[in-house]
């Protein structure tokens, strides 16, 4: 077969997929219904893939020399396993681990590597279920092998595998009643399609065209769903930890006695363990690992409900609790984390927000947020974001760009900050109101990844809009506008054209508000007028009297009013 994988090709694919998963994570988050939904599959997959990509930011030489290829592939797998989040993240990490290692050993045998990755994904699950990411993985591996037998070259094999994955994804509701009832396709499977499409793009330069799949037209939902929200009525908790031991042969059986949704994937004697349990079985699930070896990086997170047993919300236990043969009880967890000098993550994490107005900058600064103020008609540079991150002297950094046009430089800044030894990630906020929504749920005492998940969920569930004056004559999606007309923008698209700020603002809000909306945030710019604000508030009170309204004197130029609807 002509063509084979090289290390630079692998690097390009991983970085392309990371970008694509970041862009698609809100869409994927909206698909969650099974097995015990946490509503964050897209974000978990992105964080897992981000961890895998960190291998390329540790001084690895990207050449085709076999020893570098195998060493890097191994490191990618290890990073993915140890950085995996959630059910689908653990499965994806096992798939990526075995696929990368197989590619490095046999660069000409992509179909074989895909089959190895599929086997790794199945091995990570205690009780494999069809209609999930596993089904999608097997379908693409089958197709890759078929094209290989016909003598196909690498681009043809990759494209065929991605198409087969997409078709298998569309069939997942036929195989799983939960998906069929909710009218959605499998979220993890959708993430795998994004990953494979990214490989097609990196190899051919052509991006496959796929329909967005929040809801399948063939399977209308039988009950209402809320994108990005968990639909879980149980008191389950997600327990995750790293386990150092030689073998986990007995762990599946032990965990099955106390929980469900068991995922175990490992490399080099280190295993990422994931299980859902009742609050009374949390200690038992951790003890199951301690009976085999050393446990670290413990994370306990409630699924779907507020934590009714808040004392169990323990993230990153001290090393003293991780010795082989030790036994943990809920009481021991509580007392030891309070009395062994465990340092709160609050001292180690910083949020960095891009701002365009003095009022918002002052508000965020009062909350301890590091701000990067930017003048009108300008975007931040990566250097400014990097400098702000280094000034915090924190090991964990979350970047909030507040504008979709700033996402690229934020990604560059995060990459550089990681290279300098910091844990950095970007929450792709597209408006200051999305940044404010993320900041509102920020909890520095939570595990870093869970804090990022919560902030991502809050920002992505916030619709944003704004009004401004047109600077030239132009044809828009809402019709033709003249210079000086008032434009109403919703989620980045011009949706309303009018003659007065207050009137256009009300039309924008009328389009933005939907059943279930609870809060409207109005950020007033430097050119806003109190009379317009009064008119907007009067309209809200008369049309939606139960809505909470939060007014912030933002002071931003060019945009008299910016709106957020949660």
Is residue 226 a part of any domain in this protein? no
Residues 46 and 148 in one domain: yes
Q: Is 56 domain-assigned?
A: yes
Residue 141 within any structural domain of the chain: yes
Residues 394 and 328 both lie in one domain: no
Q: Residue 365's domain spans which residues?
A: 345-452
Both 54 and 199 in one domain: the answer is yes
Buried/exposed code over 302-334 (b: 16+ C-beta within 10 A; e: otherwise) = bbbeeeeeeebbbbebeeebbeeeeebebeebe
Cα–Cα distance measured from residue 451 to residue 397, given in angstroms and rounded to the nearest whole number: 11
Q: Would the CA dihedral through 565, 369, 304, 120 be positive or negative? A: positive
Q: How many helices (H) and strands (E) does the chain have?
A: 20, 16
Q: Are residues 322 and 355 in the same domain?
A: no
302 part of a folded domain: yes
Report the candidate in 69, 81, 71, 72 with the shortest Cα–Cα distance to residue 117: 81
Same-domain check for residues 15 and 71: yes
**Residue 541's CATH number:** 3.30.1180
Q: Look at residue 349 and give its three-state secondary structure.
A: strand
Query: How far, in Å, CA of 264 to CA of 262, rounded?
Result: 7
Domain finish residue from 339, 359, 376: 339
62, 177: one domain: yes
- pLDDT value at position 31? 78
Is 289 within the bounds of a domain? Answer: yes
Asked if residue 529 belongs to a domain, the reply is: yes
Angle, CA 276 vertex, CA 274 and CA 278 arms, to 5°: 140
Q: Indicate if 24 and 124 belong to the same structural domain.
A: yes
Cα–Cα distance for residue pair 549/23, rounded to 1 Å: 30
How far apart CA 18 and CA 202 sit, in angstroms, is 12
The structure tokens listed for 326 are 């030790």
* 179 in the same domain as 49: yes
- Using the 3D structure, point to which of 297, 314, 339 is the last residue of a domain: 339
Residues 386 and 526 reside in one and the same domain: no
- Same-domain status, 422 and 544: no
- The strand pairing partners of 355, in sequence order, are 373
Query: Which of the listed residues 318, 339, 360 is the one where a domain comes to its end?
Result: 339
Dihedral sign, CA of 174, 177, 178, 182? positive
Count of structural domains, the chain:
4
End-to-end CA distance of the chain: 53
Residue of 436, 354, 462, 411 lying closest to 26 (CA atoms) = 462
Q: What is the CATH number of the domain that holds 350?
A: 3.40.50.510
Determine, yes or no, domain membership for 145.
Answer: yes
Same domain, 404 and 479: no
pLDDT at 4: 82
Q: Tell me the CA distances in angstroms from 162 to 28, 207, 272, 453, one per residue in order.
A: 17, 11, 28, 28
Q: What is the per-residue pLDDT for 122? A: 93
Hey, what are 343's tokens? 């340092």
What distance in Å separates the CA atoms of residue 562 and residue 331, rounded to the nearest whole number? 48
Residues 134 and 70 in one domain: yes
Pull the structure tokens for residue 431. Answer: 């408006």
Say how far residue 340 (Cα) sits from the centre of its chain: 33
What pLDDT tens digit does each residue of the chain (566 aa) get? 346 888 888 888 998 999 899 888 878 887 765 333 345 788 888 888 988 887 565 444 444 455 678 888 888 988 888 778 777 888 999 999 999 999 999 988 999 999 999 999 998 888 888 999 999 999 999 999 999 999 999 999 999 999 999 999 999 989 988 788 767 889 899 999 999 999 999 999 888 988 755 444 333 433 333 333 333 334 467 888 889 998 888 898 889 888 888 889 888 889 989 888 887 678 788 888 888 888 888 877 776 533 333 333 333 344 444 444 444 444 444 344 333 333 333 458 999 999 999 999 999 998 999 999 988 767 787 778 988 999 998 999 999 999 987 887 788 788 889 888 899 999 999 999 999 999 999 999 888 988 999 999 999 999 999 999 987 777 778 888 888 899 999 998 889 999 999 999 999 999 999 878 899 999 999 999 999 999 999 999 999 988 999 999 999 988 999 999 99
Q: Which CATH number is 147's domain given?
A: 1.25.40.340
Domain assignment of residue 228, yes or no: no
Q: What is the pTM of this model?
A: 0.61
């Amino acid at each position: 077969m002509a063509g084979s994988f090289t290390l630079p090709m692998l690097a390009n694919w991983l970085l392309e997929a990371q970008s694509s998963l970041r862009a698609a994570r809100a869409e994927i988050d909206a698909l969650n219904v099974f097995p015990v939904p946490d509503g964050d599959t897209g974000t978990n997959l992105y964080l897992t893939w981000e961890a895998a990509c960190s291998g390329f930011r540790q001084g690895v030489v990207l050449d085709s020399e076999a020893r570098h290829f195998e060493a890097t592939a191994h490191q990618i797998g290890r990073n993915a396993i140890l950085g995996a989040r959630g059910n689908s993240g653990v499965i994806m990490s096992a798939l990526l681990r075995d696929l990368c290692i197989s590619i490095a050993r046999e660069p000409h045998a992509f179909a074989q590597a895909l089959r190895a990755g599929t086997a790794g994904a199945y091995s990570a699950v205690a009780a494999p279920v069809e209609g999930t990411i596993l089904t999608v993985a097997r379908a693409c591996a089958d197709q890759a092998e078929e094209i290989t037998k016909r003598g196909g070259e690498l681009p043809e094999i990759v494209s065929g595998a991605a198409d087969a994955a997409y078709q298998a994804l569309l069939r997942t509701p036929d195989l799983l009643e939960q998906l069929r009832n909710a009218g959605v396709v499998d979220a993890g499977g959708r993430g795998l399609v994004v990953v494979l499409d990214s490989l097609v793009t990196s190899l051919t330069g052509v991006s496959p065209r796929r329909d967005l799949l929040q809801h399948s037209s063939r399977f209308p939902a039988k009950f209402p769903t809320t994108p990005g929200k968990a639909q879980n009525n149980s008191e389950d908790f997600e327990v995750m930890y790293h386990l150092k031991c030689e073998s986990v042969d007995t762990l599946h059986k032990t965990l099955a006695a106390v929980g469900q949704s068991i995922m175990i994937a490992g490399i080099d004697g280190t295993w990422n363990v994931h299980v859902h349990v009742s609050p009374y079985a949390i200690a038992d699930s951790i003890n199951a690992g301690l009976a085999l070896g050393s446990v670290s990086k413990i994370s306990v997170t409630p699924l779907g409900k507020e934590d009714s047993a808040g004392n169990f919300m323990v993230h990153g236990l001290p090393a003293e609790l991780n010795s082989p043969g030790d036994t943990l009880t809920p009481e021991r967890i509580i007392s030891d984390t309070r009395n062994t000098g465990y340092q709160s993550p609050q001292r180690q994490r910083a949020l960095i927000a891009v701002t365009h107005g003095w009022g918002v900058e002052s508000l965020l600064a009062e909350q301890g947020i590091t701000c990067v103020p930017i003048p009108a008609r300008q975007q931040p540079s990566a250097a400014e974001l990097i400098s702000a991150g280094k000034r915090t002297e924190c090991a964990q950094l979350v970047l909030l760009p507040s504008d979709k046009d700033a996402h690229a430089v934020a990604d560059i800044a995060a990459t550089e900050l990681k290279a300098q030894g910091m844990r950095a990630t970007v929450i792709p906020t597209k408006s200051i109101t999305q940044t404010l929504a993320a900041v509102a749920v920020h909890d520095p005492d939570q595990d870093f990844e869970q804090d990022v998940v919560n902030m991502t969920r809050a920002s992505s569930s916030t619709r944003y809009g704004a009004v401004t004056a047109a600077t030239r004559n132009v044809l828009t999606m809402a019709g033709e506008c003249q210079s000086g007309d008032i434009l109403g923008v919703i989620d980045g698209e011009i949706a309303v054209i009018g003659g007065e700020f207050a009137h256009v603002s009300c039309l924008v809000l009328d389009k933005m508000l939907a059943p279930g909306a609870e809060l409207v945030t109005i950020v007033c710019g430097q050119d806003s007028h109190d009379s317009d604000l009064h008119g907007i508030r009067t309209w809200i009170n008369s049309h939606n009297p139960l809505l909470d309204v939060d007014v912030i004197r933002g002071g931003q130029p060019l945009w008299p009013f910016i709106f957020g609807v949660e």
